[in-house]
A and B are shown apart, each in its own frame.
Chain A
Amino acid sequence: MKLLVPLKQVPDSTMRIKVAPDGKSIVTEGITWSISPYDEYAVEMALEQKDADPSTTVSVVTVGPVRAKDALRAALAMGCDDGTFVTSDENAAPLVVARALAKFVEQKQPDLVLCGRQASDDDQGFVGPALATILGWPHVATVTKFAPADGGIEIWREVEGGHEVWKASGPALVTVQKSDKEPRYASLPGIMKAKKKELPELALSSLGVDAAAPKIEVVKMETPPQRGGGKILKAADGDAASVAAELVRLLRDEAKVL
């Protein structure tokens, strides 16, 4: 089975994000970058299939600036077989990314493409479904498990209070919710091997994709408003009864929840 996982490199979830002075982008200085968490689950899900059947190949690909190569290396260190780097600007439009990936998928011809359900930086959840649409492939969203079955692939997805099992016959694309297992910890031999691996590079133009159109632009970025601190009512200014009375008053008049 040939599996392909497109990755996005995003600021690590432990980072504290600041808006840059231009008001449209984030400060990238001092940021540690990682594979977007759902993409990492997708890698893990693919690798579990490889554990079960060693003849499986798992490829990864990313469209992004040079630093995104590290995300490919991280995936290779976890055990993926090969990684391809498609060079683009810092903030390639999602549709451009999907088009580039579609060309790559046509070259690579995987049996299944696993995307994370959304990237943790912009939370758009666009690339996976767009890629399936461009390819004209079936698409199953928020998948938790898959397995090769007679004449196709069985796909589990979580629904409220249970799960559904779908079956796709031909090549298909899934967006991954979370696998049963946490993404694996890369072994040191894996990291060393990944360091030495060649990462073939492709330009958007060589894939026949126009980076310029369609163009969307972020016009403004803001951090959420600071939450005010809680209020503590002290019994020092009165007995328990008056504190309770004050609490009721505040809940009714200020918070308006009563």
Chain B
Amino acid sequence: MTPNSEIWARLLLALVFGGAVVAFALQAWRLYRLMRLGRPDAERFGVYAQRLRDELVVYLGQRKLLKRGYVVRGLGHALIFWGFLVITYGTADLLLAGTLGLRMPGVDTAAFMWMVDLFALAVLAAVVVALVRRRFFPPPRMIVQLDGYIILGLIGLLMVTLFLFEAAAVGGKLFAAGAPVPPLASLIAPVFAGPSAPAVFAGSWWLHVLTVSFFLAYLPRSKHLHIVTTLPNVFFRTTRPRGALRKIDDIEQQEHFGASSLRDFTWKQHLDGYTCTECGRCSDNCPATSTGKILDPKMIILKVKEQLLHEGDALLAAGDQRGASPTDETITAEELFDCTTCGACVEQCPVTIEHIDKIVDLRRYLVMERGEFPPQAQTALRNLERSGNPWGQAGPSRADWAAGLDVPTLADNPEAEYLYFVGCAASFDGRNQKVARALVRLLRAAKVSFAILGVEETCNGDPARRIGNEYLWQTQAQATIETFGRYRVRKVIASCPHCFNTFKNEYPQLGGTYEVLHASQLVAELIESGRLRLRSDGALKVAYHDPCYLGRHNGVYDAPRAVVTGTPGAELVEIAPHDHERGFCCGAGGGRMWMEERKGERINSRRMEQVLALEAKPDAVASGCPFCLIMLEEAAGTKGVRERLRPLDVLELAAEHLETEKS
């Protein structure tokens, strides 16, 4: 239905809306060209079936908005979004009818009119709630800017004018007799019945299409561009396993390393910037941000985007110039090295932005190209290079933890089914040596055929890769792959999630493919199948702390819990709401293990408080990671709660309950 079908009106509408389309297209073209300053990115193509599925679930289904802890807010957004889709369909019809006199199929049905009206009302309500929330209860870290008000205002205006012209049309009896009419607008239609109805209809109709046009022209300069960019951003999301960082190919031939310039990010990483909605969910869940560090993952994304918008045109004009790296300008090294690579940001971002890649690319630049990064991290890497472990312990003492246990090495027993890769923490850290010994007792009790590498084991390179020295990781990994090859290793058990993750998800990048198990997975299976017989030792409430590289990065949530529940007498306590995918980092990942934590509250202390606040009052807090164990031990020590809340590894829990080890 259009108020004027004369040719001048059609031309005017075409002019207004066409102008908006042109304004949109020009800005979009600029953004596209800026985005293409980034490098090509092969991993964004292929597996199209999965990409389409993601699109349906994440974009249309709003899946990542409806995560635990955000259901109400997420639902509000989903309503606005779905309403937006329906109403956009109606708007397309409006514009077609007003210019070419054509109609979209199905718009004249009662069902569609119900949908439009219901959604419009819901959107209007959601807009009011959002406005009130912004104005009176701004959530922490949300950047309340004019942009937000403009967009909410425009959406509100769209809904109001929609209801107005619908009601005026009904009131003025402009619908053909007997045709379906907008149901909700009809309720207020009597107000508009009368001679002024056609004028009100025309006025609000034109205001509506003007608003639509303005909205379109304004969109590319707003964070609400995400309604467009989310579509490709979800479609081209990485298909790498979550725990795997991107490999630098032919590293010895490169001139630049990491993000030494805006040109070194891939185009998809720039698209990430266009897509950020500034919702702040990443930062809310970031252990660094929430304990008062400088790092704020949202700001990393936004700062790179800002720099692209400011300097990108100059870079486009001067094709050979590289320009500055974001770490030379707005992002400090301290921010970057605050990150534990825990993955909470990536997990929570509703529009599938990949924060860790950006942070690590910037670290790579600082570490490899500039050699400028925190001294303690430098020491860790130097140690790793020189003595094969980040602690700088003497390599030949690597197998000392096994003294008296008579653990075979692969050299003694090349036929062993599993290689137990002990890892540096369990090899050298006194507390974690006990965990390695516990695992040996378990494997022995279940008669599993296994061996270790002994002094031939060296660090697999994981800390180097997280800190940003890809070259060192590749060197260490290649050496490890060679050692594995010498013994024809096929199955690897790791008690450290960081070892587990790099073997499972990253070694294939260098051609090392093995069947990799975290020790808790094997032990859970051994308990389940009855090969491990455990006995009760009295009731024990065990809180389970999810290590990031086991849980979020690899989805291993159940196995370590099964070890707890499979231990007679032990009762599993969740550290709700910070359990499973919302687990709160211990603070040691991403190379933070070797760096001091000076600013703000200590992350492990926060984590311990979450455990102490549990009503269930657990007796122990179990994890499945040597770094978590060190951090939990330390926090329990400083808080003086070790006596009543014992930190331990699930492997120790099981080993202490072995039937063969009657107390």
A contact set with B: CB distance below 8 Å: 12-16, 30, 32, 34, 182, 184-192
Residues of A within 8 A of B393 (CB): 14
7 further contact pairs, Cβ within 8 A, besides A15-B394, A190-B371: A12-B387, A30-B395, A32-B386, A185-B371, A188-B471, A189-B255, A191-B471
Tally inter-chain residue pairs, CB-CB below 8 A. Answer: 46
CB distance from A75 to the nearest CB of B (A): 14
Q: Which of B371, B378, B392 has the most CB of A within 10 A?
A: B371
Number of interface residues of B (CB under 8 A): 25
Query: Can you report 13 residue pairs joining A to B where beta carbons are below 8 Å apart?
Result: A12-B387, A14-B392, A14-B393, A15-B387, A34-B386, A184-B371, A185-B373, A187-B370, A187-B371, A188-B257, A188-B369, A189-B257, A192-B252
B178 within 8 A of A: no
The answer to whether A14 and B252 touch across the interface, beta carbons within 8 angstroms, is no
Query: In this complex, what residue of B is CB-closest to A12?
Result: B386
Question: B367: CB under 8 A from chain A?
Answer: yes
| CB proximity of A210 to chain B, nearest CB, Å | 35
Contact between chains at B378 and A185 (CB < 8 Å): yes
Closest to B378 in A: A185
Complex interface: chain B residues within 8 A of A185 (CB) = 367, 371-373, 378, 381-382
Q: Is the CB of B371 within 8 A of A32?
A: no
The 8 closest A-B pairs by CB, nearest first: A16-B394, A14-B387, A188-B368, A187-B371, A185-B371, A14-B392, A12-B386, A185-B378
Q: A32 CA to B388 CA in the complex, in Å?
A: 10
One digit per residue, 1 when the CB lies within 8 angstroms of any chain A CB and 0 when it does not, for chain B 137-152 equals 0000000000000000
Q: Does B375 contact A (CB under 8 A)?
A: yes
Contact code string B239-265 (vs A, CB < 8 Å = 1, else 0) = 000000000000110010100000000
Give the Cβ gap from A12 to chain B, nearest Cβ, in Å.
5
If A187-B371, A190-B371 touch, does A182 touch B387 (CB 8 Å cutoff)?
Answer: no
Residues of chain A with a CB closer than 8 A to B397's CB: 16
Known A32-B386, A182-B375; contact A187-B396, beta-carbon cutoff 8 A? no
Q: Nearest Cβ in chain B — how far from A104, in angstroms?
A: 28
Distance in angstroms between the alpha carbons of A130 and B515 in the assembled complex? 60
Give chain B nearest CB distance to A16 CB in angstroms.
Answer: 4
- CA A30 – CA B397 in complex, angstroms? 12
The answer for the CA separation of A79 and B16 in the assembled complex, in Å, is: 62
Among B252, B371, B396, the residue within 8 A (CB) of A30 is: B396
A189 close to B386 (CB less than 8 A):
no
Closest residue to A16 on the B side, CB-wise? B394
Q: Which of A14, A191, A192 contacts B394 (CB under 8 A)?
A: A14
> Are B371 and A16 in contact (CB-based, < 8 A)?
no
Query: Is B383 part of the binding interface, using a Cβ–Cβ cutoff of 8 Å?
Result: yes
Our pick among B257, B371, B392, B396 for the contact of A186 (Cβ within 8 Å) is: B371
User: In the complex, what residue of chain B is closest to A181 when comparing beta carbons?
Assistant: B375
Question: B279 to nearest A CB, angstroms?
Answer: 37
Min CB distance A193 to B, Å, is 11
Min CB gap B257→A, angstroms: 5
- Give the nearest-CB partner of B395 in chain A: A30
* Contact between A182 and B378, CB atoms less than 8 A apart: yes
Question: CB within 8 Å of A: which of B365-424?
Answer: 367-373, 375, 378, 381-383, 386-387, 392-397
CB contact between B386 and one of A14, A191, A192 (< 8 Å): that residue: A14
Q: How far is the CA of A128 from the CA of B178 in the complex (A)?
A: 107
- Closest residue on chain A to residue B470 by CB atoms: A188
Contact of A16 among B257, B368, B396 (CB under 8 A): B396
Contacts of A13 in B (CB 8 A): 392
Q: CA A184 – CA B367 in complex, angstroms?
A: 11
Question: In the assembled complex, which residues on chain A have CB atoms less than 8 Å from the CB atom of B251?
Answer: 188
In contact, A32 and B257 (Cβ under 8 angstroms): no
Complex contacts, A12 vs chain B, CB 8 Å:
386-387
- Residues on A with C-beta less than 8 A from B368 are 187-189
How far apart are B660's CB and chain A's nearest CB, in angstroms? 28
Which residues of chain A have C-beta atoms less than 8 A from B375's C-beta? Answer: 182
- Whole-angstrom distance from the CB of B514 to the nearest CB of chain A? 26
A186 vs B392: C-alpha distance when bound (angstroms): 18
What residue in chain B is nearest A184 (Cβ atoms)? B371
**Nearest chain A CB to B383 CB, angstrom units:** 6
Q: Are A187 and B369 in contact (CB under 8 A)?
A: yes
Contact A189 B387 (CB under 8 A): no
Q: Which of B370, B378, B383, B471 contacts A14 (CB 8 A)?
A: B383
Bound together, the chains give a CA A14 to CA B383 distance in angstroms of: 8
- CB-CB under 8 A from A188, the residues of chain B are 251, 257, 368-369, 471
Point out the residues of chain B lying under 8 angstroms from A34, CB to CB.
Answer: 386
Report the separation of the CA atoms of residues A191 and B475 in the bound assembly, to the nearest whole angstrom: 14
Which residues of chain A come closer than 8 Å to B387, judged between CB atoms? 12, 14-15, 32
Which residues on the A side are within 8 Å of B378 (C-beta)? 182, 185
Chain A residue with Cβ nearest B472: A188
Which residues of the partner chain B approach A32 to less than 8 Å between Cβ atoms?
386-387
Q: How close is B249's CB to chain A, nearest CB, in angstroms?
A: 14
Residue of B nearest to A17 (CB): B394
Say yes or no: A189 contacts B369, CB within 8 Å. yes
Q: Once the chains are docked, how many angstroms separate the CA of A192 from the CA of B369?
A: 11
Report the minimum CB–CB distance from A230 to chain B (whole Å): 15
| Chain A residues within 8 Å of B394, by CB | 14-16
A201 to chain B, nearest CB (A): 25
Minimal beta-carbon separation of A47 from chain B (angstroms): 11
Cα(A186)–Cα(B378), bound, Å: 10
Q: How far is the CA of A189 from the CA of B387 in the complex (A)?
A: 23
User: Chain B nearest CB: distance from A179 CB in Å?
Assistant: 13
* In the bound complex, CA of A107 to CA of B108 (Å): 96
